[in-house]
Chain A
Amino acid sequence: MSTQYLRPSSLRHRETHYCPGCGHGILHRIVSEVIDELDIRRTTAAVAPVGCAVVAYNYWNFDCSEAAHGRALAVATGIKRVSPDLCVFTYQGDGDLASIGLAETVHAANRGERLTCIFVNNACYGMTGGQMAPTSLIGQKTATTPCGRTPDTGEGWPLKISDLLAQLPGVCFVARCALSSPKEIQDTARQIKTAFQHQLDKRGFSLVEVLSPCPTIWQKNPVEAMAWIDTEMKKVFPPGILKTP
């Protein structure tokens, strides 16, 4: 018996523009594999964010729309309401989802929209050059917190948006995963598949938060970046299933 590593048919054969060691490429592949496994490529519509993954539609091989920064879940709501048979998901960074788009996020979840949200938490704004995100850790140095994020000086605390969303009755499933080891990558795939399955079963809003490396902004090499997820990020954002039906 031989093991073959094939490209999922939901992923195009294209080189991505992501930095070496970036989590987006891994996560694009995971999402594509899950869509293949569920055999929903031809009935899926995705909404790409404004952020580093803005051109995710160039890599995925299914229908996709852009959305203005932060508005992905409002756009997804519009698609799903008029096309309830499509599997609709958003793919959003922490700035997109938890800062500028916070209202759209909370309200789509609170309406119990039958949508799936893949939430990429890299603790920073990647695309605009590494500013503080709502999820940046205390003490984390960013372009806009040069002394490290300090709650005492009004820079706030890391926002645990998944924990907040898990409280809402319209939300059926929330999991937090990481991309920092092969085992956890496999677990991320499992959680994303579960989240999609809940949408297909018309259960409500599902979300998977993924702790994802951004070596460029963190100024670490790819291996150090993975280690930083394990040693620092997980302390604030512990992986696990936060809510399940």
Chain B
Amino acid sequence: MSGNEAIGEGAIRADCTLYAGYPITPQNELTAFMARRMKESGRSFLQAESELAAINMVFGAAAAGARAMTSSSSPGISLKQEGISYLAGCELPAVVVNVMRGGPGLGNIASSQADYFQATRGGGHGDYFTPVLAPWSVEEAAQHTMQAFDLADFYRTPVLVLADAIIGQMMEAVELPEASRFSRPLPKKTWALSGAQGRRPNIIKSFFLEEGGLERHNEHLREKWEKLREKEQQSAYYGPETARILLIAYGSQARIAKEAVDLLTKEGMRIGLFRPVSLCPFPDHALKKHAKEKKMVLVVEQSLGQMVEDVRRVIRDTPVLFFGKTGGGIPSSQDIVSHLKKVLEK
């Protein structure tokens, strides 16, 4: 199946009961898949009138205690940012999928990783972060979607799955778990709107006018975030422990970087690939470990350089170089190999 369909299948297996979307390339297969599967299984599918409406339909379903998801691609995700900020402020669990394409503006429909800043820095207004998972395969796209629902419920937060057009369109065989593998018990949604039967009314809000109210609320969000940051860092490493050169890439670009690692290993270079899986929280701890005793670090992205800022924040005593292409350009494994050789010659 394609990555887009795998995301849909992951959502179905995670008991997503409402999906709302608005057409945009390169994620239209996901909306079409959901239209079919959600209806088949008696769940709610909505083709919304806009991305604004879609994210707010998800907000409503989440407020009522249901698992809900929306998906889009870059320009549509920009429109959803107000809603994501409200979800974060109201502490509502929901899953938002971005199958990234080129920007700014209408950009193009080619694959891109240029929404990293938007995804990992909150994206909308106000003081908040949302967890971000970045799949590098079709199978992982499904797994991340399932995991995103669990993280969302566990921490009461919107969670982003940040894929790109390559992952979305790619076809691969997948093996999927029937149900979630999340090992921790999920809290009951006692806060949800279900009718004030035998309890006081529940209120879902992010509005705090009283003196100090918002400060206390945001401090609570910060504490939650700090726990999440310590517990939910995910990454993968490929290559020998003795590597002297470290490539860093995520999503589809990590697959290409892995090919470059294989090519250079054959030529005798001691090189490895570090792949952030959770982009937010960024895997600081693992990266610190893998960056030790390296001669050089090269970050490869399909952008003008966004994740590289996080890498430079973490790695301070080794040179961190950047190689990327923008506007739909994709660094090939050969590009990475020649770039690396050129800088090593200097």
Selected contact of B207 from candidates A43, A54, A60, A76, CB within 8 Å: A54
Q: What are the nearest 7 A-B pairs in CB distance?
A: A78-B60, A74-B56, A82-B66, A75-B60, A65-B204, A78-B61, A107-B49
Determine if A81 and B61 form an interchain contact, defined as CB atoms under 8 angstroms apart.
yes
Question: Is B194 touching A63 in the complex (CB atoms < 8 A)?
Answer: yes
Set A42, A78, A104, A107: member contacting B63, Cβ < 8 A: A78
Q: Which of B53, B58, B68 has the most CB of A within 10 A?
A: B53
Residue among A55, A80, A82 having the largest count of chain B Cβ atoms under 10 Å = A82
Determine whether the beta carbon of A78 is less than 8 Å from that of B202.
no
Q: How large is the interface on B (under 10, 10 to 19, 20 to 34, 35 or more residues)?
A: 35 or more
Q: How far is the CB of A10 from chain B (nearest CB, A)?
A: 10
Would you give 23 A-B contacts (Cβ < 8 Å), ordered by A? A42-B195, A43-B197, A45-B195, A57-B201, A57-B205, A63-B195, A64-B202, A66-B205, A68-B56, A74-B48, A74-B57, A76-B60, A78-B56, A79-B60, A79-B193, A81-B46, A81-B57, A82-B64, A83-B65, A86-B64, A103-B50, A104-B56, A107-B53
Tell me what chain B mostly uses at the interface: helix, strand, loop, or mixed.
Answer: mixed
A74 to B86, CA, bound (A): 14
Q: Smallest distance from the beta carbon of B87 to chain A beta carbons, Å?
A: 10
- List the A side residues contacting B50 at CB < 8 Å: 103
Q: Known interface pairs A103-B49, A103-B53. Does A78 touch B18 (Cβ–Cβ under 8 Å)?
A: yes
Contacts of A43 in B (CB 8 A): 195, 197
- Chain A residues lying within 8 Å of B197, measured Cβ to Cβ, are 42-43
Count residues of chain A with CB under 8 A from any CB of chain B: 34
Q: Which residues of A contact B (CB under 8 A)?
A: 41-45, 47, 54-55, 57, 60-68, 71, 74-83, 86, 103-104, 106-107
Is the pair B196, A41 in contact by a Cβ cutoff of 8 Å?
A: yes
Tell me the complex Cα distance, A64–B61, Å. 13
Given A65-B193, A68-B86, A82-B64, also A74-B206 (CB < 8 A): no
Residue among B66, B90, B194, B206 with max Cβ neighbours from chain A (10 Å) = B194
A65 → B minimal CB distance (Å)? 4
Q: How far is the CA of A60 from the CA of B62 in the complex (A)?
A: 21
B136 at the A interface (CB under 8 A): no
Say if the beta carbon of B83 comes within 8 Å of chain A: yes
Question: Given A57, A76, A83, which contacts B203 in the complex, CB threshold below 8 Å?
Answer: A57
Q: A54-B207, A60-B201, A104-B56 are in contact. Are A82 and B196 (CB under 8 A)?
A: no
Q: Using a CB-CB cutoff of 8 Å, which residues 66-107 of chain B contact chain A?
A: 66, 68, 82-83, 86, 90
Known: A55-B207, A64-B203. A83 touches B59 (CB 8 A): no
**A104-B201 in contact given A75-B63, A78-B68 (Cβ < 8 Å):** no
Cβ of B90 and Cβ of A66 under 8 Å apart? yes
- Neighbouring A residues of B63 by C-beta, 8 Å: 65, 75, 78-79
